[in-house]
């Protein structure tokens, strides 16, 4: 049994990328491990957010986690800002981070480009806050998508650095990528990852998209000029991405899918991908609409914050003592 921690930003809708890269792994981990899953609203404010929408999105994300199958009896589900130790340890981790290593992060480079001349400092100091999130719980495993692998490396570096300077206090966490779908690509541009912050809504599928929207987006998705269903992420990026979506919802292997579609073309395959997604998401969507209306959700979040606070405060106290605060 290990300790597992992961987070998702409540910065908009949740995409199939988040689901396949992150949430699906959370569901399978919850039965064997001690799991903490966090709605990282303090990370979300590293770019401007509308306050009311941010509050709604945090609740929405909690409902989606539960609707997807997280069991509040098995996992601790909470909102980051309700556990002050995150920001407190985040500050301490900033003091042992180097500007140079933070500037090298690809997410910082990407996200700061869209902020013009006024780049929020929080975009730069995102990784030490993420390190704090993970380290507060003596985390051993962090299930994330491929785009967070670099932030996990710096988390490990910071933990080592701290341990060397102040005594071995932090557990060094391991990154766990999903077996398939560690990087779900944009439906419009298969060179880019699928992201909820993509301005083109046809580029991603939200877990709450209607059957019509799902069908439309899959039909419109970019594929190469061929017509053969073959898994080849180098040369057939679009179709390989659709195959990864199909595989992750049906459990079929790429070989099985290729065999099944030997005699069929892209048109038929796209319709089937859409069907598989629509059917796969329906139970989740039904549960979501029940949960979002219920005060049970708020109770789960406040119980979660209480449990998380207990563990996090203990770690923070040890850290403060070790560094002389
Ligand atoms: P986003 O990048 O969509 O804003 P977050 O930064 O909140 O999402 O990431 C939440 C989790 O979802 C992380 O573990 C991240 O690695 C994973 N994730 C995000 N996009 C993808 C994707 N396209 N494919 C696989 N995993 C993804
Ligand atoms: Na991300």
Contact between 86 and 136 (Cβ < 8 Å): yes
Is the residue at 246 inside a domain? Answer: yes
Quick one: pLDDT at residue 40? 98
160 and 301 in a common domain: yes
Which atom in ligand 1 lies closest to the alpha carbon of residue 196? Answer: 3
Token pair 């988040």: residue: 18
Number of domains in the chain: 2
**196 is known as an active-site residue:** yes
Compute the distance from residue 108 Cα to the ligand 2 centre, in Å: 11
106 and 29 in a common domain: yes
Q: Length of the chain, please?
A: 325
272 and 128 in a common domain: no
**Per-residue pLDDT band at 248 (split at 50, 70, 90):** very high
- The pLDDT of 29-51, averaged and rounded, is 96
Is the residue at 309 inside a domain? Answer: yes
**Per-residue pLDDT band at 308 (split at 50, 70, 90):** very high
State the Cα–Cα distance between residues 211 and 227, nearest whole angstrom: 25
Classify 181 in phi/psi space as left (phi over 0), alpha (psi -120 to 50) or beta.
left
**307 is known as an active-site residue:** no
State the Cα–Cα distance between residues 15 and 209, nearest whole angstrom: 9
User: 140-169, pLDDT tens digit by residue?
Assistant: 999 998 889 999 999 999 999 999 999 999
Is the residue at 201 inside a domain? Answer: no
**ipTM of this predicted complex?**
0.93
29 and 171 in a common domain: yes
Q: What is the CATH number of the domain that holds 121?
A: 3.40.50.620
**Per-residue pLDDT band at 181 (split at 50, 70, 90):** low
pLDDT at 281 > cutoff 80: yes
Quick one: pLDDT at residue 174? 98
**Per-residue pLDDT band at 83 (split at 50, 70, 90):** very high
Is the residue at 68 inside a domain? Answer: yes
| Residue of 24, 196, 217, 236 with catalytic role | 196
**111 is known as an active-site residue:** yes
197 is in an annotated binding site: yes
Tell me which of 10, 21, 62, 196 to substitute to probe ligand 1's pocket, judged by most ligand atoms within 8 Å of the beta carbon.
Answer: 21
**Per-residue pLDDT band at 34 (split at 50, 70, 90):** very high
Quick one: pLDDT at residue 197? 83
User: 184-213, pLDDT tens digit by residue?
Assistant: 999 999 999 999 889 999 999 999 999 999
Give the number of whichever ligand sits closest to the CA of residue 144: 1
The closest of 295, 313, 305, 318 to 36, measured between CA atoms, is: 305
pLDDT at 41 > cutoff 70: yes
What's the mean per-residue pLDDT of the chain?
A: 95
The three-point CA angle 57-276-70 to 5° equals 40
Nearest CA to ligand 1 atom 18: 18
The range of the structural domain enclosing residue 69 comes to 3-181+295-323
- The pLDDT of 269-277, averaged and rounded, is 98
**SS3 of residue 197 by DSSP:** coil
131 and 17 in a common domain: yes
112 and 83 in a common domain: yes
Q: Are strands 34-39 and 141-143 parallel, antiparallel or unpaired?
A: unpaired
Quick one: pLDDT at residue 182? 76
Contact between 122 and 41 (Cβ < 8 Å): no
Is the residue at 193 inside a domain? Answer: no
Is the residue at 188 inside a domain? Answer: no
| H or E element that contains 291 | helix 266-291
Euclidean distance between the first and the last CA atom of the chain, given in angstroms as a whole number: 33
As for ligand 1, residues whose beta carbon falls within 6 Å of it are: 8-9, 11, 15, 17-18, 20-22, 144-145, 147-148, 182-184, 193-197
pLDDT at 292 > cutoff 70: yes
Quick one: pLDDT at residue 65? 94
No. of helices (H) and no. of strands (E), the chain: 15, 5
User: 50-64, pLDDT tens digit by residue?
Assistant: 999 999 999 999 999
State the Cα–Cα distance between residues 160 and 275, nearest whole angstrom: 47
Q: What is the CATH number of the domain that holds 235?
A: 1.10.240.10
**Per-residue pLDDT band at 21 (split at 50, 70, 90):** confident
Contact between 245 and 184 (Cβ < 8 Å): yes
304 and 277 in a common domain: no
- The pLDDT of 67-92, averaged and rounded, is 97
pLDDT at 300 > cutoff 80: yes
Compute the distance from residue 52 Cα to the ligand 2 centre, in Å: 22
State the Cα–Cα distance between residues 45 and 9, nearest whole angstrom: 9
Is the residue at 80 inside a domain? Answer: yes
User: 97-144, pLDDT tens digit by residue?
Assistant: 999 999 999 999 999 998 888 999 999 999 999 999 999 999 999 999
The token pair that represents 156 in the structure block: 């490990």
276 and 162 in a common domain: no
Which atom in ligand 1 lies closest to the alpha carbon of residue 185? Answer: 23
Q: How many CA atoms lie within 13 A of 93 on its CB side?
A: 29
Is the residue at 202 inside a domain? Answer: no
Measured on CA atoms in the order 184, 185, 191, 192, is the torsion positive or negative? Answer: negative
Give the number of whichever ligand sits closest to the CA of residue 146: 1
270 and 134 in a common domain: no
């Amino acid at each position: 049994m290990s300790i597992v921690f992961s987070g998702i930003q409540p910065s908009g809708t949740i995409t199939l990328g988040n689901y396949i890269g992150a949430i699906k792994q959370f569901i399978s981990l919850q039965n064997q491990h001690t799991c903490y899953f966090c709605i990282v609203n303090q990370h979300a404010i590293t770019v401007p957010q509308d306050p009311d929408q941010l509050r709604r999105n945090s609740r929405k994300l909690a409902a989606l986690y539960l609707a997807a199958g997280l069991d509040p009896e098995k996992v601790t589900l909470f909102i980051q800002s309700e556990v002050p130790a995150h920001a407190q340890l985040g500050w301490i981790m900033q003091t042992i981070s180097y500007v140079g290593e933070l500037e090298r992060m690809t997410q910082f480079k990407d996200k700061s480009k869209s902020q013009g001349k006024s780049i929020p400092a929080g975009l730069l100091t995102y990784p030490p806050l993420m390190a704090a999130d993970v380290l507060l719980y003596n985390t051993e495993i962090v299930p994330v998508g491929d785009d967070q692998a670099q932030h996990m490396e710096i988390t490990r570096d910071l933990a080592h650095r701290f341990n060397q300077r102040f005594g071995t206090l932090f557990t060094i966490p391991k990154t766990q990528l999903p077996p398939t779908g560690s990087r779900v690509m944009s439906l419009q541009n298969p060179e880019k990852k699928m992201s909820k912050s993509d301005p083109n809504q046809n580029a991603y599928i939200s877990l709450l998209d209607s059957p019509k929207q799902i069908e439309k987006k899959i039909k419109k998705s970019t594929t190469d000029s061929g017509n053969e269903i073959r898994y080849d992420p180098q040369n057939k990026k679009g179709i390989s991405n659709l195959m990864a979506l199909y595989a992750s919802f049906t459990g079929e292997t790429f070989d099985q899918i290729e065999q099944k579609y030997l005699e069929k073309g892209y048109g038929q395959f796209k319709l089937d991908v859409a069907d598989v997604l629509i059917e796969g998401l329906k139970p989740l969507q039904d549960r979501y609409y029940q949960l979002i209306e219920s005060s049970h959700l708020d109770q789960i979040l406040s119980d979660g914050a209480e449990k998380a606070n207990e563990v996090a405060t203990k770690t923070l106290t040890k850290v403060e003592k070790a560094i002389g605060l």
